[in-house]
């Protein structure tokens, strides 16, 4: 029996200022059966001091024995969890106040081992991309449905869905039995250098099916110290990027040889995590990366500043296709000589703030929001789920199938009745024609025929 219902795990590396706010959001829950585990990746005393400000029975501090790659710190952190379900957030992320109560209800009512959600998104004032800070995106959907893990993987690797549609530990509550199965199959939960994206493919594959809701349970925050921004948007210009790469190389967490290590988002991290997960977890499934589509995506989204870097990127992309002569010839004909289009703009905010039919886009600073605690409070004020609960909208897949089956049965029944009525009308028409072919009843027959014609028209309209 698990010690608690949920373990909220926060791996951290020298971010005491944002960690304090992440902890505040975790402890501000209308639910009681949980713990918060903070895993300090060989940090300074500032991290421990920040955690000690929240000292109490719900908060546990653990520390790695040495500096680890991010994936290894995640493994260390999740291994400390005592909960039946595990939720992982970054140290600049936050939980929304209704999260654990709703996750408890969903997992009990739906018997789900995995519940994935659509997170809110927040860029801190310290965000490293110019002009993109102080942005809050709030999902306003209320749907819930059961999805196939393999079907979702196909859609994500075909780039028809974003990778956040997968049940990553960043945006999912995962039963500890699923994590135990991953350890048994691969040796650890996060054996890949991009642990969040990899975990989405891995959990979807092992769980088989998962519950997915549009209701946000967490805020995905990005601050000035975010690894993703450093490695994808500020590559080679950030100490965070250098440390991330050096630690991965030291531990042998290397990219797949078929996937070029290029600053292309989301294609490179998604394809690389998929390739590793497929090889380790579902090698026999009929799902694979379309390498031509991938190459086109890379060329369209390659983030470089100079023509020289552009040419080097094309060369490395071409080199990754060397094992496939047909695709290599296609690349040479279609993409190898594509001219440098200039640097891509780093735009995360939409052109207009407001509601777009799915998300509410806000300038967070205009609402006095300067941290993820305040961002969670604003989301709570807008959504009001802590006070009123969630009224989910939509049907689960199996319920939708049942309704469609009943609808089709009714259509078939009505069609059969119409066919029977038309058959009777045709028989009467034929008999009348035969009876009046040469007799004195022609005038009456014409009247009857007009009536039969009207009946036929009405019957056909009823189909």
pLDDT level of residue 240 (50, 70, 90 thresholds): confident
Q: What pLDDT is recorded for position 255?
A: 83
Q: Higher confidence at residue 68 or residue 442?
A: 68
For the chain, what are the domain ranges? 4-303+344-394, 400-462
Between CA 235 and CA 242 the distance in angstroms is 8
Q: What pLDDT is recorded for position 60?
A: 97
CB-side neighbour CA atoms (13 Å) of 332? 9
At 11-45, the pLDDT tens digits run 999 999 999 999 999 999 999 999 999 999 999 99
The 354-355 sheet, strands edge to edge: 94-95, 218-222, 120-123, 135-139, 359-363, 354-355
- Percent of the chain scoring above 90 in pLDDT: 74
At 389-440, the pLDDT tens digits run 898 886 444 454 455 556 667 777 777 777 777 777 777 777 767 666 655 5
List of E strands, 257-355: 354-355
- The architecture in CATH of the region 4-303+344-394 reads Alpha-Beta Complex (3.90)
| Average pLDDT rounded to a whole number, residues 305-331 | 96
At 95-147, the pLDDT tens digits run 999 999 999 999 999 999 999 999 999 999 999 888 999 999 999 999 999 99
Whether residue 368 has pLDDT greater than 70: yes
| Average pLDDT rounded to a whole number, residues 233-251 | 82
């Amino acid at each position: 029996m698990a010690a608690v219902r949920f373990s909220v795990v926060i791996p951290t590396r020298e971010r005491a200022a944002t960690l304090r706010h992440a902890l505040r959001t975790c402890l501000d829950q209308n639910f009681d059966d949980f713990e918060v585990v903070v895993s300090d990746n060989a940090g300074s005393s500032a991290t421990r001091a920040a955690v000690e400000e929240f000292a109490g029975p719900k908060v546990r501090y653990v520390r790695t024995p040495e500096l680890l790659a991010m994936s290894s710190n995640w493994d260390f952190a999740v291994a400390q969890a005592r909960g039946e379900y595990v939720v992982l957030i970054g140290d600049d992320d936050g939980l929304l106040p209704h999260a654990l109560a709703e996750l408890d209800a969903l997992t009990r009512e739906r018997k789900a081992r995995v519940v994935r959600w659509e997170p809110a998104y927040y860029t801190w004032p310290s965000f490293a991309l110019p002009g993109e800070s102080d942005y809050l995106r709030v999902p306003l959907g209320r749907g819930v449905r059961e999805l196939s893990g393999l079907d979702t993987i196909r859609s994500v690797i075909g780039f028809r869905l974003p990778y956040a549609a997968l049940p990553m530990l960043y945006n999912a509550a995962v039963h500890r039995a699923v994590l135990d199965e991953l350890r048994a199959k691969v040796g650890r939960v996060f054996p890949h250098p991009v642990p969040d994206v990899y975990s989405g493919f891995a959990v979807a594959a092992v769980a088989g099916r998962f519950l997915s809701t549009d209701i946000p349970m967490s805020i995905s925050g990005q601050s000035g110290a975010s690894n993703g921004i450093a490695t994808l948007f500020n590559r080679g210009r950030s100490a965070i990027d250098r440390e991330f790469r050096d630690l991965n190389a030291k531990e042998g967490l290397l990219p797949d040889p078929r996937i070029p290590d290029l600053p292309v988002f989301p294609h490179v991290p998604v394809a690389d995590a998929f390739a590793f997960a497929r090889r380790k977890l579902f090698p026999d499934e009929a799902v694979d990366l379309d390498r031509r589509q991938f190459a086109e995506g890379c060329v369209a989204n390659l983030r470089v500043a100079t023509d020289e870097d552009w040419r080097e990127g094309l060369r490395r992309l071409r080199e990754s296709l060397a094992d496939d002569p047909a695709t290599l010839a296609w690349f040479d004909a279609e993409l190898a000589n594509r001219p440098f289009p200039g640097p891509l703009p780093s735009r995360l905010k939409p052109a207009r703030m407001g509601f777009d039919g799915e998300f509410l886009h806000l300038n967070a600073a205009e609402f006095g929001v300067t941290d993820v605690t305040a961002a969670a409070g604003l989301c709570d004020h807008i959504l009001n789920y802590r006070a009123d609960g969630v009224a989910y909208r939509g049907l689960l897949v199996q319920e939708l199938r049942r309704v469609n089956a009943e609808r089709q049965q009714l259509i078939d029944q009505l069609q059969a009745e119409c066919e029977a009525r038309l058959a009777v009308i045709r028989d009467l028409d034929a008999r009348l024609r035969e009876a009046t072919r040469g007799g004195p009843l022609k005038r009456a027959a014409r009247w009857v025929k007009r009536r039969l014609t009207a009946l036929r028209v009405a019957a056909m309209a009823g189909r």
